[in-house]
Amino acid sequence: MAQITAIFWDVGGVLLTNAWDRAQRRRALEHFGLDELEFEDRHAMLDSSFERGKLTLQDYLERTVFYRPRAFPPQDFKNYMFSLSQPFSEPLELARELSKSCKYLMATINNESTEFNLYRIQTFGLRDIFDVFVSSCFVGLRKPEDGIYRLALDITQRTPQECCFVDDRPLNLDAAARLGMHVIRMENVAQLRHDLNLLGTGA
């Protein structure tokens, strides 16, 4: 087995709560009293462009929420959206330990819109952990497209065999595994530590 020199991490669902997944959207819609079916129809048509960095958060909200007058201002809705992001402290600490060991290149491969991505990087200190952010909003590609994993390998100049990818969704892991990357499905931090140790990766 090739020695692991790089660990790629999903962010939402592994290190933090998801940024704007269905559960987060439902909470926001309930909080502001918006119709879920109407919103989700509009969201579905814009989601890909939003996460690929083709739409700003303002553009997205103008088309999904503020296409007609509301009883609340856009900033209140934005603030609530951002407040839904919360850390998973134990996986974050594990990633921090691995980063401090200086044994591995640490990078993310994640699907997030620009404003969410920058907010979460800043708020949760991710720049202190990761060397590279291969985020859909920056590169115009999304998981599970093969292209985003190939780009991550090209950017970091690593072979698939020396890379491990951690995610919580099987479909995303399948795409990475097809390219030859080692993959770990995140279920809990004890299991994650165990599976990383099996690959010879530890702080």
Domain assignment of residue 110, given as a range: 6-17+87-198
The answer to whether position 52 is within a domain reads: yes
Q: Are residues 32 and 65 in the same domain?
A: yes
Q: Are residues 116 and 172 in the same domain?
A: yes
The answer to whether position 101 is within a domain reads: yes
Q: Are residues 91 and 113 in the same domain?
A: yes
- Domain harbouring 72, CATH code: 1.10.150.240
The answer to whether position 59 is within a domain reads: yes
Q: Are residues 79 and 93 in the same domain?
A: no
Beta pairing, strands 132-135 & 182-185: unpaired
- The residue behind tokens 């909470």 is 27
Whether the predicted model's global pTM rises above the 0.85 cut:
yes
The answer to whether position 185 is within a domain reads: yes
The answer to whether position 203 is within a domain reads: no
The domain tally of the chain equals 2
Q: In terms of residues, how long is the chain?
A: 203
Write down the pLDDT at residue 203. Answer: 64
Last residue of a domain, one of 67, 83, 99: 83
Write down the pLDDT at residue 104. Answer: 97
Q: Which residues of the chain have pLDDT under 50?
A: none
The answer to whether position 94 is within a domain reads: yes
The answer to whether position 45 is within a domain reads: yes
Last residue of a domain, one of 49, 83, 117: 83
Last residue of a domain, one of 61, 83, 105: 83
Cα separation, 56 vs 54, whole angstroms: 7
Q: Are residues 67 and 158 in the same domain?
A: no
Please, what's the b/e burial string for 164-194 (b: 16 or more CB within 10 A of its CB; e: otherwise)?
A: bbbbeeeebbebbeebebbbbbbeebeebbe
Write down the pLDDT at residue 2. Answer: 76
Question: In this structure, are residues 153 and 130 in contact, taking their beta carbons and an 8 Å threshold?
Answer: no
The answer to whether position 174 is within a domain reads: yes
Q: Are residues 75 and 38 in the same domain?
A: yes
Q: Are residues 187 and 135 in the same domain?
A: yes
